Amino acid sequence: QVQLVESGGGSVQAGGSLRLSCAASGYTYSTYCMAWFRQAPGKEREGVALINMRYGNTYYSDSVKGRFTISQDNAKPTVYLQMNSLKPEDTAMYYCAIGRPSKWDSIKGFDYWGQGTQVTVSS
């Protein structure tokens, strides 16, 4: 089975940066997409960014485009989310996921999920 382990969350002031990591094992990573989702208290889980591990195509939500960058290291394999210019509204639990979605941010299209890592951005 696939196992995902997220790390890199923490507390940061607005305007600061964090880099999240997601280490994957137990799957043929080149045939999957890996994505980051986030969920704030009282809100639904939303897609943040996705990378197609085979072709390298990336997708971002409008709210993070230009500030966040998703990247991959196929040797490990690991997916990163570099988050710059963080805003208080970025505060959420961030989850790594693996799947083959027909729509990039479709929760149903992801079969495996990590436990999440908390990101808190203060004013």
Q: What's the pLDDT tens digit per position in 70-115?
A: 999 877 789 999 999 999 999 999 999 999 888 888 999 999 999 9
Position 122 pLDDT exceeds 90: yes
Q: What's the pLDDT tens digit per position in 5-58?
A: 999 999 999 999 999 999 988 866 667 899 999 999 999 999 999 999 888 999
Q: Predicted confidence band at 116 (pLDDT cuts at 50, 70, 90)?
A: very high
Burial of residue 17 (number of CB atoms within 10 Å: 0-12, 13-18, 19+): exposed
Q: Is there a contact between 114 and 6 (Cβ–Cβ < 8 Å)? A: yes
